[in-house]
Structure 1
Amino acid sequence: MSATTTTSRPQGGGGGGFGRIPGMTAPVSKPKSFGSSARRLMGRLRPERAKLVAVVALGVTSIGFSVAGPKILGQATDIIFNGVLGRLRHVPGAGIDFTALAHVLAWVIGLYLTSSVFSWAQGWLLNGVVQRVVYRLRSDVEDKLHRLPLRYFDGQPRGEVLSRVTNDIDNVAQTLQQTLSQLLTSVLTVLGVLVMMFSISPLLAVIALLVIPASAVITARIGKRAQKLFVAQWKNTGVLNSHIEEAFTGHQLVKVFGRQRESEAEFRRRNDELFGAAAGAQFVSGLIMPAMMFLSNLSYVVVAVVGGLRITSGGMSLGEVQAFLQYSRQFTQPLTQVASMANLMQSGVASAERVFELLDAEEQKPDATDAVPVEDPAQRRGRVEFENVSFSYRTDQPLIENLSLVAEPGHTVAIVGPTGAGKTTLVNLIMRFYELDSGRITLDGVDITRLRREDLRSQVGMVLQDTWLFGGTIRDNIAYGKPGATDEEIVAAAKATFVDRFVRTLPDGYDTVIDDEGSNVSAGEKQLLTIARAFLASPSLLILDEATSSVDTRTERLVQNAMAALRSSRTSFVIAHRLSTIRDADLILVMESGQIVEQGTHDELLEARGAYYRLYSAQFAATA
């Protein structure tokens, strides 16, 4: 077993685990335009083309019956007006023809009833379309998260990612649900009403059409300003969520260090920024509705005046003018509705941009097409070799350069050094959480890049310094290391790692339900559960990252015995700050500022009186 390395420069962090790398910030990208993002969002409706055609057909039928109503009602008005006028002129036999009036009203009722039925069918079908589109969007985002490299999450606050996955997708769903139906209905209504208006009076129709260019100009100018504010609103929402997530995750530390006021002040500052962006976006986009209402009323007045003049000149009947006034209101109302939806559409597209940025993020390199099949577990040896490996988190800050080392099967390699020295980086590279800049790492002689990540990681058991448990029973949390494990295997792993002794004291034993943060068990017990999980998996390669950092001294001694049994016949990489836990390691690597500065056994390194000796003396000087 050997290790060699050449000069390496200090890193920018990254050696301390899976947290955010200092110096790295979330990528800043210029927001996409409203048009391109909206087209991309609409493009996700393509799989529902057939159903959308049916939706349009139902909408055309519904609107067709609906817009025919005012013209027929105009006939009813003419029947009443002519009858009353005949009586006033004392025309013999004149009067209201109630039979004809009843037929006209029956037709109108039938038309509106039929229109309502088709409108309901359209809404029901469109609702299914929208829900399936959002379902696929959520699935795509979920799949994308599993394909993203760890580097992406290092550069993104956790609350920001959660905001994109939850708040932004929910906002997109709400936007599609509320705007698609109303937008389709509004467009069809405008087209249908235009046909009826031109059939009654081309002159009045042209007057009514003058509203459209004015509306388009107002909507475009106001909407362009509102879009920037909506982007800022959802960006600030993500920042605020990130702060809240951090504050509540570490609420005990906030209270211990008396930082409630600072945390509240930070919340108020970020909340004020969100308030300013959201209020500005709603105010600017809200200007569209009053402007459209003004244009609508102005058009209505002009049409009424011109229509009155046409009646007096005999060019139109009262019923036709009444019908046209109804159409005029029906014509401007959809335009007003579209304008009122502008703020919702701007907000939804801004959220869609953020989701698309996540979907467009650079993915980890795909597994090799000619991936080497996994050997039979009985044939796995666990020999790990680094061959001239170079790696850096940032191109301008090299971390590891030309590192070569060999970990023989069944041996234990301990990695020690101060915090931030790059210890965890080495095991991250073995797991392919990051890709190498150059060189290669082999497992049993096979380049790990030629293995499927799933197959590679199935051979590795890992116990992290930061424990992770999910909401479920203790039995489920242990069995996470080996799906389908029997109760006997779970209990055996628990006994071997000294979990069984405290589980037996719980009222429900292995069926005790713990929450996702494990708040109803101690920190040491949580770490024991993660060790039992790794024990049950029985991997050929074991990685222990400060696996006993949260247990007491007596339990640590017991766990060390269990870990010794767990490490037997398998290669182990042990990251440790407590040097007492790695005295029996076959090889100890001492890292400082990203370099391996010493290597050897415990006794050899003490005799050398170098970096390891200084670390050892610092820990045990008080005892000595």
Structure 2
Amino acid sequence: MTTTVEAAEDLEELPHPAEDEDIPVPPGAARTLLRELLGPHRRRIAGAMLVILVQQAALQAGPLLVAVAMDRGIPALRDHRSGPLIAVIAAYLGCAGVSTLLQRAFIRLSGRINQDILLDLRGRIFRHAQRLSLDFHERYTSGRIISRATSDVDALRELLAEGLQELLTVILSVFYITVVLLLMDWRLGLAALVSFLPMYLIIRSFRRRSLRVYRRSRTAVAAVIVRFTETMNGIRPVQAFRREAANDESFGVVNRQSAAATADGLLEMARYVGLSRATANTWITGVVVLGAFLVTDGSLELGVLTAFVLYLRRLYDPIDQLAMFLNSYQSAAAALEKMAGLLAHEPTVAEPAAPAELPATTIKGREVAFHGVRFAYRTGKEVLPSFDLVLPAGQTTAVVGATGAGKSTLAKLLARFYDPTSGRLTLDGIDLRELSTAELRRGVVMVTQESFLFSGTVAENIAIGRPGATRAEVEQAAREIGAYEFISELPDGFDTDVRKRGGRISAGQRQLVAFARALLADPAVLILDEATSSLDVPGEQAVQRAMRTVLAGRTAVIIAHRLSTVEIADRVLVMEQGRIVEDGTPADLISGQGHFADLHQAWRDSLV
């Protein structure tokens, strides 16, 4: 029964058919990000540019040397002078060798730069995603963030690895060849340059059309990752409620949308390549015909025309390379835009400019006070109307109420996952907004119902509470909580890998590990959010014993549905529609005629 209820709760967390909106991108954010990524590598980029500049000069000398061989070397050979032709051949081989070596050097240098940029970018995304406030992660699915760090980064990698080299090759080829053509024969050179106008129009049309396609493609890919990730995370309710067919249908929708966007991109590229090749072939034919007339009337040498044809082929062949670059560029531009939007998104819970420090105290707990605190979510719905509340240092306060009463929101404000819409929340008189995150996390710790454990050993998971703790301190925390015995019985004791989400141990054992983590952190304020709601009776009793240990002397807030958990509290707050409707000791409220007394009686009746 418990499994079915948990599965039903998990099922509510699965994504709905309407995916969440894209993260907004501030104007200029993509360009700013690109400058920040390239900035530290300016010197190496300049060196790579110099290498490719010389490499292209050596490569483009080939047709010119062919012309010299035909018009100078071969006539000299007929006169029994082989020196000019040998010199031209040697120069040709030398240029080819230099071009090959410099190409290799450019690929190695640019490859190192690319990997450093991608390493920096992935790290930025990971670090920034951890900094973003809870409201961001509740509005945007984890799959969308994963898409930024995977498929979007891969799109940029393809551009950096291949696209930029293709672009540089095209630009330098066009520059070198244009100069040489004009110097060889200005008439044919101008005829070739006229072709740049229709080529420009074709490229501009492709760029505009494909950018829209690739923006849609990046969104579609993110939707596929979101659907896949969220479904796998909710695999238990999926199987429990036989959602496989429905999920397959919804995944098919986003999968087909992604395939359609990719197909549209390929069609745009095919259209571009077809038009550009037709234009190039038409112009080459025209230039060759014009050159033939000039050769026949003696105003142009045959070797020059041959070199011209070779150069024209080299001038128009990179058009296909340009198409591949534009293909990679549009995809990478759309991806960079989305990554820039994520990185430009600032946490709503901001670090203070001049952080304050909590005053020294001789007791474990600290006073918590809500002064005119009001909270509403971004949708505008008010969850907590303005209220005042003081929790004395060392007091354990239980907060009860129906689902949606505002209990967890109150806890999230105290943990500063959110800031109040108005009012102040203080810790020993200091506004939480004045404390650095590190200072706040040392003073306030939250233990949730999920008791999330990371892949790794039991000891590593406990030590999250205080990373600098010794092994002896970790084991002592487990012993005080009552977790030492079951941990010692695990296959490798404290070195046992709990695996994904702590799946190797039971829910009650995960809760005890979470309490050991909290005890080791030694906070002044401890928040327990539904800490026993998913446990059976023996597990709940073990956790309650641990709770008494960890709560001793601390200021504590317990969010609870089970009234058995409330019995250890010094004070009970009953919430209804965001308001505190009852406030008193458990004994006083039970003996009264209020809502808590009714809840308590209903609970006792359920035990009979």
Q: TM-score, normalised by structure 2?
A: 0.92
User: CA offset at residue 79 of structure 1?
Assistant: 5.0
AA in 2 matched with 1:238: A
**Structure-2 separation of matches of 1:291 and 1:109:** 36
- C-alpha change, 1:489 and 1:47, in structure 2 (3 Å) is closer
1:617 and 2:601 matched = yes
Which residue of structure 1 aligns with residue 421 of structure 2? 437
Which residue of structure 1 aligns with residue 332 of structure 2? 348
- Specify which of 66, 69, 75 is matched with residue 76 of structure 1: 69
Q: More deviation in 551-560 or 462-471? A: 551-560
Q: TM-score, normalised by structure 1?
A: 0.90
The 3-state SS of whatever aligns with 2:371 is strand
AA in 2 matched with 1:117: L
- C-alpha change, 1:312 and 1:30, in structure 2 (3 Å) is farther
Aligned 1:217-296 pairs, distance under 5 A: 217-296=201-280
Which residue of structure 2 aligns with residue 138 of structure 1? 122
AA in 2 matched with 1:59: I
1:371 and 2:355 matched = yes
How many residues align? The count is: 597
Which residue of structure 2 aligns with residue 327 of structure 1? 311
Quick check: which one's helix share is greater? 2
AA in 2 matched with 1:386: F
Which residue of structure 1 aligns with residue 43 of structure 2? 50
Q: Tell me, yes or no, if the aligned pair for 1:470 and 1:517 is still in contact at 8 Å.
A: yes
AA in 2 matched with 1:136: D
- C-alpha change, 1:215 and 1:269, in structure 2 (3 Å) is same
- C-alpha change, 1:115 and 1:158, in structure 2 (3 Å) is same
AA in 1 matched with 2:283: S
User: CA offset at residue 382 of structure 1?
Assistant: 1.3
**Structure-2 separation of matches of 1:435 and 1:273:** 39
User: CA offset at residue 113 of structure 1?
Assistant: 0.9
Q: More deviation in 241-250 or 24-33? A: 24-33
User: CA offset at residue 32 of structure 1?
Assistant: 8.2
User: CA offset at residue 431 of structure 1?
Assistant: 1.6
Aligned 1:389-538 pairs, distance under 5 A: 389-394=373-378, 396-538=380-522
Identity of aligned residues (%): 31
User: CA offset at residue 393 of structure 1?
Assistant: 0.9
- Specify which of 257, 277, 299 is matched with residue 283 of structure 2: 299
- C-alpha change, 1:488 and 1:258, in structure 2 (3 Å) is same
Q: More deviation in 523-532 or 573-582? A: 523-532
**Structure-2 separation of matches of 1:333 and 1:21:** 48
User: CA offset at residue 97 of structure 1?
Assistant: 4.4
**Structure-2 separation of matches of 1:448 and 1:31:** 30
| CA RMSD of superposed structures (Å) | 2.6
User: CA offset at residue 353 of structure 1?
Assistant: 0.9
Q: Tell me, yes or no, if the aligned pair for 1:157 and 1:242 is still in contact at 8 Å.
A: yes
- C-alpha change, 1:98 and 1:377, in structure 2 (3 Å) is farther
User: CA offset at residue 80 of structure 1?
Assistant: 6.8
**Structure-1 separation of matches of 2:149 and 2:428:** 39
C-alpha distance after superposition, 1:452-494 (max 9, x if no partner): 1210111122210122111111111111111121222211211
Q: Tell me, yes or no, if the aligned pair for 2:446 and 2:528 is still in contact at 8 Å.
A: yes
Q: Tell me, yes or no, if the aligned pair for 2:25 and 2:341 is still in contact at 8 Å.
A: no
C-alpha distance after superposition, 1:578-621 (max 9, x if no partner): 00111231111111222222221222222333222332333332
Q: Tell me, yes or no, if the aligned pair for 1:79 and 1:96 is still in contact at 8 Å.
A: no
User: CA offset at residue 360 of structure 1?
Assistant: 2.0
The answer for unaligned runs of 5 or more in structure 2 is 1-9
- C-alpha change, 1:397 and 1:266, in structure 2 (3 Å) is same
C-alpha distance after superposition, 1:125-152 (max 9, x if no partner): 2223222333332333234224322211
**Structure-2 separation of matches of 1:318 and 1:102:** 20
C-alpha distance after superposition, 1:502-549 (max 9, x if no partner): 222222111111223222222222222111111211211111111123
User: CA offset at residue 379 of structure 1?
Assistant: 5.6
The 3-state SS of whatever aligns with 1:340 is helix
The 3-state SS of whatever aligns with 1:513 is coil
Which residue of structure 1 aligns with residue 169 of structure 2? 185
Q: More deviation in 187-196 or 442-451? A: 442-451
The 3-state SS of whatever aligns with 1:569 is coil
**Structure-2 separation of matches of 1:265 and 1:456:** 46
Q: Tell me, yes or no, if the aligned pair for 2:385 and 2:578 is still in contact at 8 Å.
A: no
Aligned 1:81-100 pairs, distance under 5 A: 82=75, 94=78, 97-100=81-84
1:607 and 2:600 matched = no
Aligned 1:195-214 pairs, distance under 5 A: 195-214=179-198
1:388 and 2:381 matched = no
AA in 2 matched with 1:290: G
1:339 and 2:332 matched = no
**Structure-2 separation of matches of 1:183 and 1:311:** 35
- C-alpha change, 1:372 and 1:80, in structure 2 (3 Å) is closer
AA in 1 matched with 2:58: F
Which residue of structure 1 aligns with residue 144 of structure 2? 160
1:60 and 2:44 matched = no
AA in 2 matched with 1:172: L
User: CA offset at residue 340 of structure 1?
Assistant: 2.7
Q: Tell me, yes or no, if the aligned pair for 1:226 and 1:284 is still in contact at 8 Å.
A: yes
- C-alpha change, 1:342 and 1:118, in structure 2 (3 Å) is same
User: CA offset at residue 329 of structure 1?
Assistant: 1.0
C-alpha distance after superposition, 1:104-124 (max 9, x if no partner): 111110111112222222232
User: CA offset at residue 310 of structure 1?
Assistant: 1.5
User: CA offset at residue 68 of structure 1?
Assistant: 1.6
Q: More deviation in 124-133 or 340-349? A: 124-133
**Structure-2 separation of matches of 1:200 and 1:566:** 88
AA in 1 matched with 2:55: S
**Structure-2 separation of matches of 1:236 and 1:592:** 42
- C-alpha change, 1:515 and 1:26, in structure 2 (3 Å) is same
Q: Which has the higher contact order (CA 8 A, sep 6+)?
A: 1
User: CA offset at residue 81 of structure 1?
Assistant: 5.7
**Structure-2 separation of matches of 1:302 and 1:338:** 23
The 3-state SS of whatever aligns with 2:573 is strand
The answer for unaligned runs of 5 or more in structure 1 is 1-15, 85-93
User: CA offset at residue 39 of structure 1?
Assistant: 8.0
Q: Tell me, yes or no, if the aligned pair for 2:48 and 2:110 is still in contact at 8 Å.
A: yes
**Structure-2 separation of matches of 1:464 and 1:76:** 81
**Structure-2 separation of matches of 1:342 and 1:319:** 35
User: CA offset at residue 38 of structure 1?
Assistant: 6.2
**Structure-2 separation of matches of 1:274 and 1:368:** 42
The 3-state SS of whatever aligns with 1:622 is helix
1:112 and 2:82 matched = no
The 3-state SS of whatever aligns with 1:483 is coil
- C-alpha change, 1:119 and 1:485, in structure 2 (3 Å) is same
